[in-house]
């Protein structure tokens, strides 16, 4: 054990086990999580041969496929059915491979469960669970990902044969990007424009078999393939799909909420957007997923910062641990606080999703819009925080952060597409703004509105209650004030533009930056509120609560300092109060410092899950870096063939032109 890390753990003032329990919803869940992680770590088959970064793309794909199929079978044998528990096992078993069947379990099966009729579920789910059917969610096209009402793929109903005929009429209508579509899947859910009786009925989901179930060759009229190497996700065959007069039976349209009868009569759903449900489900889960990504980067960067020493503090004296530099703390501790904030908010989003989804199942769609706004906003807010935070963690590791040995570049390429997939983040923020503007008249009237948004109607002339003590309540009020004011500003801007003669749509289009500011401020407030509520309700001892409260305050104060203009432009904070906040920020960095390593230990990631030479629990960073370097295929031969092919001839040629000087 590295002595600095051992010392860090001794000096912690709280019990990390209590925090681990809080993060993973109780000791019983922690026990199960550890059991599953250990089972994966100890499994010889999952040990792997060479580091992923030294493998070709095809090798990465094959390794991922082999490992995931093995793990799925193991989990079935163990009787583990809960998706989260399955994820814990897989995360420890194959942390570096993006599962080529992730869309099968993450979107294909859930879509059938949520959008399929009883008969459709009985027909497809058993085959999907036993991998006879391997599916994906094929919505995005080459020409359209965001504007899904503009999708071009058509599904035209033919009453004479009671079939839908699917077509990709243009190059841009080709499905493009779906995970596992290229080579892995034999079927998919295709989002297509339904046409019955010659009329367009909007986009709907259709079950389409794309490959023969025995030979895996393409079905007639189907062309598909891999889209090529990407920034990350290279063990996944994100694919393209072109459909030419592909016929599927009428029963293959997912008909839980809308129907096409035998004669082609269209029965619409109560709300057209109910068919977007799988996206809302995934967005709710992306929040915790972002917390996972950012927390892993924090574990690596903070442990490494405790081990790494750089620069003599006094001449001839010992070099300081880099974690002792205030600038390093300022880069890392707010991110640590953010990772906690996102874990707690993710938990809230998932619970809220489950609550509203069951109301929807029971036929009450009243909260659908609000659920959509919350999930879209938190998805965007959390993925932005995660991506930016991972990059900062990488920079905090200096040169070694740039190596795949650190584990951080892999985290970055894995998590950054979260800002784009499942709804591009700016577009998601505009959906939040749309929701807020829609209820704005009710907010102003003081009409009946959900408690999430009540504060948005507060008196904007009020000033901050902040004192030198910096209470959490005052911090939350500051976020509420900023969100209310930015919303009011955006609304006023739109009204002014309308008064000046613009149409409402033109006024909206000329205000999307202000609307995005308002939406982000709303999401930020949501996170601060959730974090502070969970900390104040947490059943933990006083020392643990003190540490969590410090983290929560740091999250809030850092959010204010980073967005200071928005908090002071209307004079809400006085300059005096801003200096309280700046002083408190510095105090909190010092207060968190002795607990930083214990706080990352509390995330409870086994080394295998982190796959990082820098983030090892035992802190043996340097021998691990050396071992990793030795594994490079470059080092398999003392002299590479390329020396004889290129360097030697070049040297010979050069020496003939100018004879070598004596060394
Ligand atoms: C335990 C683990 C369990 C599960 C695991 C799951 C997830 C794991 C976590 C992480 C995942 C990790 C890896 C996954 C990797 C990759 C997956 C990627 C998959 C994809 O990307 S699939 C494709 C996703 N595509 C999109 O998201 C498209 C984005 N675009 C849209 O959503 C829409 O086009 C739009 C919202 C931008 C606009 O839609 P529109 O034009 O129809 O609507 P309007 O703007 O006109 O608004 C009209 C009206 O509709 C309301 N609305 C819009 N959307 C919804 C919705 N989804 N639900 C409800 N209501 C909605 C809107 O509010 C308007 O209402 P109003 O009353 O008229 O104002
Ligand atoms: C790794 C990865 C995996 C994916 N997996 C799947 C999958 O399994 N299934 C699937 O169907 N799709 C998948 N996708 C596709 C993904 O869902 C889309 O890329 C995403 O929805 C964004 O759409 P787009 O690419 O059309 O972006 P665009 O909409 O073209 O965005 C480009 C820019 O335009 C801006 N923009 C676009 N529209 C607006 C607007 N209305 N207002 C303001 N700004 C706007 C955006 O903010 C962005 O800056 C995946 C993508 C990636 C990267």
**CATH number (domain holding residue 447):** 1.20.140.10
| Predicted local confidence at residue 230, as pLDDT | 97
Q: Which residues contact 197 (CB under 8 A, 6 or more apart)?
A: 157, 264, 265, 266
- The candidate with the shortest Cα–Cα distance to 415, out of 288, 590, 526, 310, is 288
- Alpha carbon nearest to ligand 2 atom 51, residue: 421
Mark whether 495 is an active-site residue: no
Q: Could you say which of 269, 295, 312 is where a domain stops?
A: 269
> What is the model's pLDDT at position 450?
82
**Long-range CB contacts for residues 495-504, cutoff 8 Å, separation at least 24:** none
> What is the rounded distance in angstroms from the CA atom of residue 165 to the CA atom of residue 247?
5
Tell me which of 223, 246, 269 is where a domain ends. 269
Query: What is the model's pLDDT at position 663?
Result: 61
Q: Is residue 650 part of a domain?
A: no
Structure tokens at 186: 């034999």
> Which residues touch 531 (CB under 8 Å, ≥6 apart)?
340, 341, 344, 345, 552, 555, 556
In DSSP terms, 535 is beta-bridged to: none
Reported as a single tens digit per residue, the pLDDT across 497-547 is 999 999 999 999 999 999 999 999 999 999 999 999 999 999 999 999 999
- Separation of CA 52 and ligand 2 centre (Å): 28
Q: What is the CATH number of the domain that holds 261?
A: 2.40.110.10
Residues 262 and 355 in one domain: no
Q: What's the ipTM?
A: 0.98
| pLDDT score recorded for residue 519 | 98
Q: What is the pLDDT of residues 447-483, one digit of tens each?
A: 778 888 989 998 999 999 999 999 999 999 999 999 9
Asked if residue 285 and residue 261 are part of one domain, the reply reads no
Residues 181, 183, 186: CA angle, nearest 5 degrees: 70
- Residue showing tokens 């993006």: 98
Regarding whether 621 and 551 lie in a shared domain, the answer is: yes
Rounded to whole angstroms, the Cα distance separating 273 from 91 reads 33
The three-class DSSP label of residue 321 is strand
User: Could you tell me which of 495, 520, 593, 512 has the C-alpha nearest to residue 550?
Assistant: 593
Res 654: pLDDT:
85
651 domain-assigned: no
Q: Could you tell me if 320 and 409 lie in one domain?
A: yes
What lies within 8 Å, CB to CB, of 539 at 6+ separation is none
Which pLDDT score is estimated for 334?
98
Q: Is the C-beta atom of 508 inside 6 A of ligand 2?
A: no
Residue 554 maps to a domain? yes
Give the number of whichever ligand sits closest to the CA of residue 190.
2
Residue 34 sits at φ, ψ, to 5 deg, of -65, -40
- Whether residues 352 and 398 share a domain: the answer is yes
Coil, helix or strand at residue 305 = helix
Which token pair is 227?
């889209």
Specify whether 427 is located in the same domain as 458: yes
Q: Which residues are annotated as a binding site for FAD?
A: 140, 179
**420 alpha carbon – ligand 2 mean position (Å):** 5
Q: Are 525 and 436 in contact (CB under 8 A)?
A: no
Q: How far is CA 442 from CA 29, 454, 461, in A?
A: 42, 10, 20
User: Do the domain assignments include residue 56?
Assistant: no
User: In this structure, are residues 528 and 536 in contact, taking their beta carbons and an 8 Å threshold?
Assistant: no
164 and 302 part of one domain: no
What pTM did the predictor assign?
0.97
Last residue of a domain, one of 235, 269, 303: 269
Tell how far the Cα of 418 is from the centroid of ligand 2, in angstroms: 10
Distance CA 522, CA 241 (A): 39
Q: Which domain holds residue 551?
A: 1-30+277-629
Q: Which residue has the tokens 């389409």?
A: 208
Can you name the residues that pair with 167 across neighbouring β-strands?
A: 154
Task: Say if CB 420 and CB 329 are below 8 A apart.
Answer: no
429 is a domain residue: yes
Residues 255 and 353 in one domain: no
Say if residue 394 is in the same domain as residue 258. no
Determine, yes or no, domain membership for 598.
yes
Residue 368 and residue 436 share a domain: yes
Which of 194, 182, 335 lies closest to 261 in space, CA to CA?
194
Distance of CA 542 to the CA centre of its chain: 32
Q: What's the gap in Å between 327 CA and the centre of ligand 2?
A: 36
Give domain status of residue 163, yes or no: yes
Q: Are residues 382 and 530 located together in one domain of the fold?
A: yes
Residue 278 CA: nearest ligand 1 atom is: 57
Contact 338, 294 (CB under 8 A): yes
- The segments of the chain whose pLDDT lies below 70 read 49, 659-663
Closest CA to 418 of 388, 387, 393, 378: 387
128 in a structural domain: no
The minimum-distance atom of ligand 2 relative to the CA of 143 is: 26
Structural domains in the chain (count): 2
Cα 659 to chain center, whole Å?
59
Q: What is the DSSP string of 470-481?
A: --HHHHHHHHHH
Q: Are both 169 and 194 inside the same structural domain?
A: yes
Q: β-pairing, 187-196 with 135-138?
A: parallel
Q: Ligand 1 pocket test: pick from 180, 231, 421, 428 the residue with the most ligand atoms within 8 Å of its Cβ.
A: 421
Distance from C-alpha of 76 to C-alpha of 159, rounded to nearest angstrom: 42
């Amino acid at each position: 054990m590295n002595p600095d890390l051992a010392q860090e753990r001794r000096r912690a003032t709280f019990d990390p086990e209590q925090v681990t329990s809080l993060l993973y919803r109780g000791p019983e869940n922690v026990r199960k999580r550890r059991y599953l992680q250990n089972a994966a770590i100890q499994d010889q088959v999952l040990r792997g041969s060479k580091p992923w970064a030294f493998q070709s793309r095809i090798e990465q794909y094959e390794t991922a496929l082999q490992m995931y199929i093995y793990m799925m079978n193991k989990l079935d044998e163990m009787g583990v059915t809960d998706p989260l528990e399955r994820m814990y096992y897989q995360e420890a078993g194959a942390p570096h491979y993006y599962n080529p069947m992730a869309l099968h379990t993450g979107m294909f099966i859930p879509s059938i469960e949520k959008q399929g009729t009883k008969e459709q579920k009985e027909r497809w789910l058993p085959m999907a669970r036993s991998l006879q059917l391997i599916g994906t969610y094929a919505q995005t096209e080459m020409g359209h990902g965001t504007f899904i009402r503009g999708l071009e793929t058509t599904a035209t109903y033919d009453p004479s044969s009671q079939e839908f005929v699917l077509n990709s009429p243009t190059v841009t209508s080709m499905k493009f990007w779906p995970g596992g579509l290229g080579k892995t899947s034999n079927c998919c859910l295709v989002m297509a424009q339904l046409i019955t009786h010659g009329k367009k009925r909007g986009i709907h989901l259709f079950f389409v078999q794309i490959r023969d179930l025995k030979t895996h060759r393409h079905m007639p009229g189907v062309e598909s393939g891999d889209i090529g190497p990407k920034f990350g996700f290279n063990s996944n065959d994100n694919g393209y799909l072109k459909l030419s007069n592909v016929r599927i039976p009428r029963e293959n349209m997912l008909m839980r909420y809308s129907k096409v009868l035998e004669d082609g009569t269209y029965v619409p759903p109560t709300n057209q957007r109910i068919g977007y449900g799988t996206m809302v489900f995934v967005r709710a889960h992306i929040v915790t997923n972002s917390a996972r990504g950012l927390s892993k980067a924090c574990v690596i960067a903070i442990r490494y910062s405790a081990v790494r020493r750089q620069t003599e503090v006094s001449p001839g004296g010992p070099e300081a641990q880099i974690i002792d530099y205030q600038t390093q703390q300022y880069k890392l501790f707010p991110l640590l606080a953010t990772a906690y904030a996102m874990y707690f908010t993710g938990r809230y989003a998932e619970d809220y999703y489950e609550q509203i989804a069951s109301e929807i199942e029971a036929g009450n769609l009243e909260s659908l819009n609000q659920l959509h706004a919350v999930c879209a906003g938190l998805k965007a807010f959390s993925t932005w925080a995660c991506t930016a935070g991972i990059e900062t963690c990488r920079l905090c590791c200096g040169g070694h952060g740039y190596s795949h040995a650190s584990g951080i570049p892999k985290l970055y390429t894995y998590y950054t597409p979260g800002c784009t997939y499942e709804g591009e983040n700016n577009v998601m923020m505009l959906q939040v703004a749309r929701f807020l503007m829609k209820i704005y008249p009710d907010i102003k009237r003081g009409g009946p509105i959900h408690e999430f948004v009540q504060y948005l109607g507060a008196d904007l002339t009020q000033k901050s209650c902040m004192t030198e003590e910096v209470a959490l309540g005052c911090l939350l009020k500051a976020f509420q004030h900023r969100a209310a004011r930015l919303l009011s500003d955006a609304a006023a801007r739109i009204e002014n533009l309308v008064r000046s003669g613009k149409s409402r749509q033109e006024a909206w289009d000329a205000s999307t930056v202000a609307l995005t500011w308002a939406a982000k401020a709303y999401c930020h407030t949501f996170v601060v509120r959730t974090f502070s509520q969970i900390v104040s309700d947490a059943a933990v001892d006083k020392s643990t609560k003190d540490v969590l409260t410090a983290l929560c305050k740091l999250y809030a104060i850092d959010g204010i300092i980073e967005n200071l203009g928005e908090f002071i432009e209307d004079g809400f904070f006085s300059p005096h109060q801003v200096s309280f906040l700046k002083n408190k920020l510095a105090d909190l960095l010092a207060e968190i410092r002795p607990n930083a390593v214990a706080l990352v230990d509390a995330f409870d990631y086994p080394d295998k899950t982190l796959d990082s030479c820098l983030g090892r629990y035992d802190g043996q960073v340097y021998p691990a870096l050396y071992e990793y370097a030795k594994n490079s295929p470059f080092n398999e031969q003392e002299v590479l063939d390329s020396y004889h092919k290129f360097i030697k001839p070049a040297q010979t040629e050069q020496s003939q032109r100018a004879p070598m000087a004596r060394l």
